[in-house]
Amino acid sequence: MAIQTRPESSNDNLESPKTAQPYLEIRNLQTAFPGNEKPTIVVNDVSLSLARGETLAVVGESGSGKTMTFLSALGLLPKSGRVIGGEALLSGRDLLKLPPREMRALRGSEIAMVFQGPLSGLNPVFRIGEQIIEAIRAHRRISRRAARQEAIRLLERVHIPAASSRIDDYPHQLSGGMRQRALIAMAIALDPAVLIADEPTTALDVTVQAQILELLSDIQAETGMGMVLITHDLGLVARHADRVAVMYGGRVVEQGQLSDVFKRTRHPYTVSLFRSIPHLHTPADAELTPIDGQPPNPAELPPGCAFEARCYLGKGRRDCVSAIPPLAATDLNTHLTACHHWPELAGTGANG
């Protein structure tokens, strides 16, 4: 493979919301599941946007609402889940208001999703080629033969060796990395404007992970596709994202340009995440600072800030206990945080 450069963070200059119409814009989204007494809100007032060619990383632990946000937008929530408020605009059209048939037509062709765990997205009893051909023919009127040619081209595009024979393999005949490539081939088959990649490499070895993400970056550079990268790996975020949203307890708690969130962190949860995980570039003997306690149960969120009980900054403080901090501007343009006491963090970068 020849030298490749990362697609220049081309949005840096064009990025202000006035000039670039966002591909995907989620506004004040709220999603609930039935609970014992009252509904459990798993996505709470979430607003996110994604521009053309941009990569937005959504960071959070399991239960933070990061996957539910996008399942809601795509109409893929489990049966008992309900979107109870907000909008999810794709090029100006509200996905939440579309009749199921139109949503099905958009899903895959305009907006596609790749899930964690490459086995979950492939049907084990069909050859991978058949599954890709079916995905193509569900949206485009072309012959089987043409669709098969197209499927081979897609498998080659995701660097599956000997694509013209691999197309007739069953999923179990492929390695984990190859299965994830096949899933990506299926997701990009119809050239979607937006790809949601939900922990696309979590189950894979680190060397395979690097290959898969380089592949996604390459595809993005070619097509201008916008990508949402849902992950808990801050290293991957540093490498691939343009902007970052950090989620906790169903809300976005910090959001901004990559360098702002990483170098001028304005939320104590984000700071703690950096300090609690060992990294290759920090001193090997440095003591880790664990985050006390557990991530919150969405069914039992406190009346104040969801992070208060674990927070080194706000624990026990009156406003933190009683009032949910709104996501609001910081000292930095386009950098938002949901913390009552963020000014006390000024001068702390997560990276020193």
Selected binder of other proteins within 39, 47, 61, 334 (CB under 8 A): 61
Judged by CB under 8 A, does residue 290 bind other proteins?
yes
Token pair in block for residue 115: 């899930």
What single letter denotes the amino acid at residue 45?
Answer: D
Judged by CB under 8 A, does residue 306 bind other proteins?
no
Give the nearer residue to other proteins in terms of CB position, either 47 or 217: 217
Give the nearer residue to other proteins in terms of CB position, either 61 or 150: 61
Judged by CB under 8 A, does residue 284 bind other proteins?
yes
Judged by CB under 8 A, does residue 255 bind other proteins?
no
Selected binder of other proteins within 38, 141, 145, 281 (CB under 8 A): 281
Judged by CB under 8 A, does residue 239 bind other proteins?
yes
Strand ordering across the sheet containing 55-59: 111-114, 194-198, 226-231, 55-59, 243-248, 251-257, 336-337, 328-329
Helix (H) or strand (E) holding 86: strand 82-90
Residue 68 contacts residue 251 (beta carbons within 8 Å)? no
Least distance between other proteins and beta carbon 314 (Å): 16
Least distance between other proteins and beta carbon 258 (Å): 5
Q: Are strands 336-337 and 251-257 parallel, antiparallel or unpaired?
A: antiparallel
- Count Cβ atoms below 10 Å from residue 208 Cβ, excluding itself: 17
Give the nearer residue to other proteins in terms of CB position, either 339 or 350: 350
Residue 316 contacts residue 324 (beta carbons within 8 Å)? no
Token pair in block for residue 234: 């801050």
Judged by CB under 8 A, does residue 206 bind other proteins?
yes
Selected binder of other proteins within 144, 153, 172, 279 (CB under 8 A): 279
Selected binder of other proteins within 75, 85, 117, 176 (CB under 8 A): 176
* Site for other proteins, residues 181 to 200, rule: CB under 8 A: none
Selected binder of other proteins within 175, 191, 318, 333 (CB under 8 A): 175
Instruction: Count the alpha carbons within 13 Å of 23 in the hemisphere toward its beta carbon.
Output: 20
Judged by CB under 8 A, does residue 172 bind other proteins?
no
Give the nearer residue to other proteins in terms of CB position, either 95 or 158: 158
Judged by CB under 8 A, does residue 71 bind other proteins?
no
Judged by CB under 8 A, does residue 1 bind other proteins?
yes
Pick the stretch among 35-43, 74-82, 103-111, 257-265 that binds other proteins (CB under 8 A): 257-265
Pick the stretch among 121-129, 150-158, 231-239, 317-325 that binds other proteins (CB under 8 A): 231-239
What single letter denotes the amino acid at residue 70?
Answer: F
On the 0-12 / 13-18 / 19+ scale of CB atoms within 10 A, 136 is: buried
Query: Which residues, at least 6 apart from 293, have a Cβ–Cβ distance to it below 8 Å?
Result: 309, 310
Least distance between other proteins and beta carbon 350 (Å): 8
Token pair in block for residue 77: 């929530």
For residue 295, give the nearest of 253, 326, 245, 257 by alpha carbon: 253
User: For the residues of 199-260, what is the DSSP string, one character each?
Assistant: STTTTS-HHHHHHHHHHHHHHHHHH--EEEEEES-HHHHHHH-SEEEEEETTEEEEEEEHHH
Judged by CB under 8 A, does residue 207 bind other proteins?
yes
Give the nearer residue to other proteins in terms of CB position, either 3 or 125: 3
Query: Which residues, at least 6 apart from 94, have a Cβ–Cβ distance to it below 8 Å?
Result: 87, 88
Selected binder of other proteins within 46, 158, 186, 258 (CB under 8 A): 258
**Residues binding other proteins (CB under 8 A):** 1, 3-6, 8-9, 61-62, 161, 175-178, 205-211, 214, 232-239, 258-259, 262-263, 272-274, 276-281, 284, 287-291, 294-295, 310, 350-351
